Chain A
Amino acid sequence: MASLIERYDHFIFDCDGVIWRGLEAIPGAVKLLHKLGSLNKGVIYVTNNSSKTKQCLFDKISTTMGVSIKSNKSLYSSGTALADCLKRRMKPGEKVYLIGSRGVADVMDEYGISYIGLGPDLEPCTQPEFKDFVPDPSVKYVVGAFDPHFNYTKMSKAYIYIKECQAEYLVSNLDVLYPLSTDRYLPGTGSLINGLNHALGISPTVMGKPSSSLYDLICSEHTIEDNSRVLMIGDNLSTDIQFGINSGIDTCLVLSGITSREMLIEEGAPKPTYVIDSVADIS
């Protein structure tokens, strides 16, 4: 597999299930990243985990895992993709109704985007109380991202902003499960948002993987001369591999995360260019 390193100049890594699982590095990951760095290869990290700010990712990679990275310019989360898109579109005075974590809010702050809705919210609480809810007229966008405080009240407010106020609806990602540890997964952003999407009867605009808008953003900030020399490495067929396919780049599926060998042959499953057990096999 040494030829993979020779064949590509830029390596885009998903994080959860590829470089780390929860708080632990995947064996061999750190060694590979050091090797790529020493060969001056482009290394970019892309996570659909919207609650991580660039600083947070930087700390996890450099401090916790001990991988040296030059700056946080090579770090992308679905949160930063959202913020970048909003920044280009929003007019002064407009606000976002934000379903998201403190991490997403920090990203919004970094980009100077105004929002309401962060944190716990139980007002109104029961269905009949929604009769008197008055939407904020400056809200023109609704953002759906992982939110530990996501609840029925927020789902209903988002619904009202989208249906009654015609707010534009963007989500960070639709990953249904989040890998917590080797034995346990948890419901992710997609599962919560799915309740809202069912009510709306639409599929929202997704800013994270598998949307290629994230790749467009990466290309606008890094010099990538030849798409055929870029490799996307991830553990999730419907987000990571599909992202690579949508972006027109080669893909490498690792089996150290959410995907098992059996899932590869399921009908309609995206086909990766390569399949390996883990990133350790690359070096």
Chain B
Amino acid sequence: MECALNGRQLGPSLLKLFDTFLVDCDGVLWIQDSAVKGAEAAIRTLRSHNKRVLFVSNNCGKTVEQFQEKFRTLLHLEDVPSRDIINSAVSTAIYLKNKMDLEKERVFVIAQDAFTKTLDSYGIKSFGPGFAEPKAFVDWTTFEVDPSVKYVIVSYDPFFNHTKLTEAYLYLTENNAELLSPDVDQFFSVSSTRKIPGSFCVQAAVSSVLGEDRTPKIMGKPDKFMFDLIQQEHGEMDRERTVMIGDNYKTDMGFGFNCGVSTALVLTGNTKEGDVEGLGRRPDFVLGSIGDIAAE
């Protein structure tokens, strides 16, 4: 494993070793609404070296347009093509578009409304986000399960409640709908001292009613499926010349390991310097920040 904090000397090595850079966003390029120092310079450096840069994110709470807005305002990058931004809502949409009968079938979504907007842009009919009125048990006896709902997506939803859980359960059992999940994040860090349950916990509630043998198909990192879709859209990649840069060991580095590409962990987000020693399988590189890539 390369040295952690003296990443500057690694910058040139990464430029020599790799042609394709798969870059996570939250915790790598920005933290909430502040840019990571040097992130803009890093992306510009990669572009000036004619590297292919694809942004690979599990954040399905934003549409691709909202990501582009963030690139504009925080990194002053005006021209990030929408097809170069692949989040777990996009990978879900591509999967569904290839599989569904778009005329006859619908998707029930437990997630934020950016998700349904993304699906909509691919011609996929979906519903679900927003507030759902709590129902008494007895009201469910007359609930009619729409047979066209053949897919259920489960992720972080601030409005997740018993009503949504029950509706998902009914589609999954009475329609034998396919269960998909964009990501497996267990916690969300709201501050440096506070974490709260994340999307995995919402999935756990759904999976517990279905039984252990029925788990969701994961549409985001660390599942290799997302890489297969990226290659489908962008062409086959030489794995030996591809690196995944991310801040989350489990999802970003896990993704790199699963896809057989190189891995570079940054310490500006989810993983801190003190965590590095205790890691299992080591990433190929550890950088203080993505800014270390920028040429001096």
Contact = CB atoms under 8 A, between A and B. Distances in A.
Interface residues of B, number: 38
Contacts of A224: none
Interface string A179-195: 01100101100111011
A151 to B, nearest CB: 4
A160 B111 CA distance: 22
Given A131-B190, A150-B161, A199-B187, A191 B208 contact: yes
Given A131-B191, A131-B194, A150-B161, A186 B140 contact: yes
Given A149-B134, A180-B137, A191-B208, A127 B169 contact: no
A192 B125 CA distance: 27
Interface in B154-170: 156-162, 165-166, 169-170
Contacts of A128: 32, 190
B162 A195 contact: no
B205 A152 contact: no
Interface stretch (B16-24, B196-204, B245-253, B280-288): B196-204
Given A131-B194, A150-B161, A199-B187, A191 B140 contact: no
Given A192-B162, A194-B205, A127 B194 contact: no
Contacts of A194: 204-205, 208
A138 interface: no
A178 B195 CA distance: 31
B141 A192 contact: no
Nearest to B156: A127
B159 A151 contact: yes
B208 A196 contact: no
A147 interface: yes
B162 A148 contact: yes
B186 interface: yes
A199 B160 CA distance: 15
Given A150-B162, A186-B140, A198-B186, A160 B196 contact: yes
A164 interface: yes
A156 B159 contact: no
A108 B134 CA distance: 22
B186 A148 contact: no
A131 B189 CA distance: 9
A120 B131 CA distance: 11
Interface in B101-155: 131, 134-138, 140-141
A164 B135 CA distance: 32
Nearest to A174: B208
A155 interface: yes
A249 B46 CA distance: 72
Contacts of B131: 122
Interface of B is mostly: mixed
B204 A195 contact: yes
A151 B191 CA distance: 21
A282 B89 CA distance: 56
B95 interface: no
Contact of B141 (A164, A181, A187, A196): A181
A23 B39 CA distance: 62
A155 B197 contact: yes
A159 B169 contact: no
Q: Which of B136, B169, B186 has the most CB of A within 10 A?
A: B169
A39 interface: no
B140 A151 contact: no
A191 B205 CA distance: 5
Contact of A191 (B141, B161, B165): B165
B295 interface: no
12 contacts: A22-B138, A120-B134, A127-B156, A127-B188, A127-B196, A148-B134, A149-B134, A151-B161, A178-B137, A194-B204, A195-B202, A195-B205
Interface of B: 32, 131, 134-138, 140-141, 156-162, 165-166, 169-170, 186-188, 190-191, 194-198, 200-202, 204-206, 208-209
Interface of A: 22-23, 120, 122, 125-128, 130-131, 147-153, 155-156, 159-160, 163-164, 176-178, 180-181, 184, 186-187, 190-192, 194-199
Q: Which 7 A-B pairs have the closest CB atoms?
A: A195-B205, A151-B161, A199-B197, A198-B204, A194-B208, A195-B201, A156-B196
Given A152-B158, A180-B141, A187-B165, 5 more contacts: A150-B161, A160-B194, A176-B209, A195-B208, A199-B198
